[in-house]
Amino acid sequence: MKARILDIVRGTTVDGPGFRTAIYFAGCAHNCPGCHNPQSWDFSGGEEMELQDIVDIIYEEDFDVTLSGGDPLYQPMFASALIERIHELGKRTWVYTGFLWEEIIENPLLRDAVSQAEAVVEGRFLETLKNPDLAFRGSSNQRIIDVKKSLETATPVEIMRI
């Protein structure tokens, strides 16, 4: 199984709590004005990588993991398989996406993709709501969703709102 990956950043501290391995997926159709990573929008960007090659890097680094991009939910079957493997390694996963939680749970592919993640940082970046003081997100409309609690209660449960 392969996915288009722009970059893998080892030991980052900006894409979730603690040191993390960040996997940046290629492709995003949200096209948010003011996006900090517009080069990630190209679905043919980056390079194709095998699932096992990415898992090997995660295992070697031994950090929790963040999936970002682009938007990893445009490659939902790969994201699902990767999160499952990360979970098997005993690591936690955060997923950054422009999709809203409500859109994710309505779509079986997207819901399955994030079902084993710890958190989803969701919502399109809105330049008018940009706030550099927010933890782990760019604009105040974005939420950090606790996946397990949200799936159990069928309502979005935020991890933090700072």
| Domain at 6, CATH number | 3.20.20.70
State which residues form the domain around 104. Answer: 2-160
Q: How far are the Cα atoms of 52, 91, 104, 118 from residue 87, in angstroms, in the given order?
A: 14, 5, 20, 9
The residue among 110 and 126 whose pLDDT is bigger is 110
Q: How many CA atoms lie within 13 A of 49 on its CB side?
A: 23
User: Order of strands, edge to edge, in the sheet holding 119-122?
Assistant: 47-50, 2-12, 20-25, 64-69, 93-96, 119-122, 143-146, 158-160
Reported as a pLDDT band with limits 50, 70 and 90, residue 161 is low
With contact defined as beta carbons under 8 Å apart, do 65 and 90 qualify? no
Predicted confidence (pLDDT) at residue 24 exceeds the cutoff of 90: yes
Contacts of 60 (CB under 8 A, 6+ apart): none
Predicted confidence (pLDDT) at residue 148 exceeds the cutoff of 90: yes
Tokens of 116: 């084993």
Average pLDDT (105-122) is 95
φ/ψ of residue 105, rounded to 5: -75, -20
Average pLDDT, the chain: 92
Predicted confidence (pLDDT) at residue 64 exceeds the cutoff of 90: yes
Of 75, 16, 21, give the one whose Cα is nearest residue 43. Answer: 75
CA dist 34 and 82 (Å) reads: 29
The reported pTM is: 0.93
Terminal CA-to-CA distance of the chain, rounded, Å? 38
Domain count, the chain: 1
Of 68, 59, 64, 3, give the one whose Cα is nearest residue 30. Answer: 68
Please identify which residue in the block is written with the tokens 């940009």.
130
With contact defined as beta carbons under 8 Å apart, do 152 and 127 qualify? no
Please identify which residue in the block is written with the tokens 């399955």.
112
